[in-house]
Amino acid sequence: MSTAPAADSSTAAVADVHELHLATSGKLKLRATARLAEGEPAALFEACVLLHEAARAERRAIEALPFAPATTHLAASIEECWCLVEGFDPPRAADAWGRVLADQDRVDPDTAGAMLSRLRPRFEESRRRFGKVLSGCPRLMRLHGGQLYVPVEPSEQRAMRAELTRVLDAFPGAVPFWWASYRLGEAMGDLAGAWTALTNARLLDPENRRFEAMSLLLSVRALPEKQADEHIGRARASLEAAGPQVCLMYALAEIEMAARAGGKKAAERWRRALHAVFSGLGQGATPDLQKNLKAIRLLLEALLAGVEPTLDILYRAGLGDRAVMAQRQSVTDLLIFLASQVAANDAQPLAASR
């Protein structure tokens, strides 16, 4: 029996998916162009969000064609990079530029040169402008390599915030700097500012699970109780596949909500948190996340049993080095602090989400 019809059907379906993603990207770019023309900060940021989504659509389009010609791969990488340049995100554009260069090597020089004639000067201009802005921000230079340094001194925090504002005013689509703004705002106790910064990072990169994870605990601290409960509730249905960071931070959010509720409502929240912990342990957590998930599991089991949590929990979870340095009186507060820091720093926060 011939299999040609099935093969033809499969090929057509792949082509349809490719065209669908390209059409989506095209519509997003048109909407972004209209918003860019308005020039207002809110419209500019919305354009950045649209262009970041267009970049993801371009990447999904080419990934739907695993056997596409080299020129098609190069064209897709060029469009992806172009969207990120126009979306005012130099770090992500630089990541895409690396793919452009790799794809360029598989295309003859004359063809590649013609294809890059529009993007190359625009990318170089963006890179130079970004470098000029950063050159006046010595504290933010510590962000290079994915490491975020949050100063302790209030004067240094204020200086870093001024630098972040300078960068984000010039490059409102720069995802890593919204993340840095969130971390700094949280450290400064500006929960409203931290929530705004993290929300912007999530709008620009909605597929980033780190951003989603950190928003869960922050929502409990920054939003009214009803809104926070609605926010963490939206994550509850997808915990089984959400990743260990999301599960851990969901559990911490429920624990903090339980502290406000008390009584039977607290126990209900603890049980939901424990379910999230078990979900996270089954999803390939890194060693640090595993230790913290285990510690939170032991904490919740103690709370549900009506037993006062002690530092033994940290030793049993493999966090003895943290236990001997502990200075906080509340074991629950200590574990929430340690676990949230691990969730925030478990991977490179400045790397492009893919």
> What is the C-alpha separation between 209 and 244, in angstroms, rounded?
9
pLDDT digits (tens, 9 = 90+) for 215-252: 999 999 999 999 999 999 999 989 999 999 999 999 99
DSSP 107: S
Count how many Cα atoms sit within 13 Å of the Cα of residue 141 in the half-sphere of its side chain.
8
Q: What is the dihedral of CA 125, 196, 178, 260, to 10 degrees?
A: -170
Domain ranges of the chain: 9-134, 141-206, 230-354
> What is the C-alpha separation between 43 and 76, in angstroms, rounded?
26
| Mutual angle of helices 191-204 and 175-188, in 10-degree steps | 160
Q: How many CB atoms lie within 10 A of CB 60?
A: 18
> What is the C-alpha separation between 119 and 38, in angstroms, rounded?
23
Of 8-17, 66-75, 134-143, 145-154, the one with minimum mean pLDDT is 8-17
Integer angstrom CA distances of residue 220 from 5, 47, 169, 215, 237 = 55, 29, 28, 9, 18
pLDDT digits (tens, 9 = 90+) for 275-284: 999 999 999 8
- 141-206 adopts what CATH topology? 1.25.40
* Residue 19 near residue 59 (C-beta atoms within 8 A): no
Q: How many CB atoms lie within 10 A of CB 108?
A: 10
Region 173-190 average pLDDT: 95
Closest CA to 244 of 289, 214, 287, 205: 289
Of 33-47, 50-64, 317-331, the one with minimum mean pLDDT is 317-331
Q: Which of 230-244, 319-333, 337-351 shows the highest mean pLDDT? A: 230-244
* Residue 213 near residue 245 (C-beta atoms within 8 A): yes
Region 165-179 average pLDDT: 96
> What is the C-alpha separation between 190 and 167, in angstroms, rounded?
19
Q: What is the pLDDT of residue 1?
A: 46
| Mutual angle of helices 225-236 and 244-261, in 10-degree steps | 140
354 confidence band (pLDDT: 50, 70, 90): very low
pLDDT over 70 percentage in the chain: 91
- Containing 66, the helix (H) or strand (E) segment is none
Q: What is the pLDDT of residue 123?
A: 98
* Residue 341 near residue 317 (C-beta atoms within 8 A): no
Integer angstrom CA distances of residue 51 from 55, 72, 85, 159, 314 = 6, 20, 9, 30, 45
Q: What is the largest CA-CA distance in the chain?
A: 77
285 confidence band (pLDDT: 50, 70, 90): confident
* Residue 79 near residue 95 (C-beta atoms within 8 A): no
Q: What is the pLDDT of residue 149?
A: 72
- What is the average pLDDT score of the chain? 90
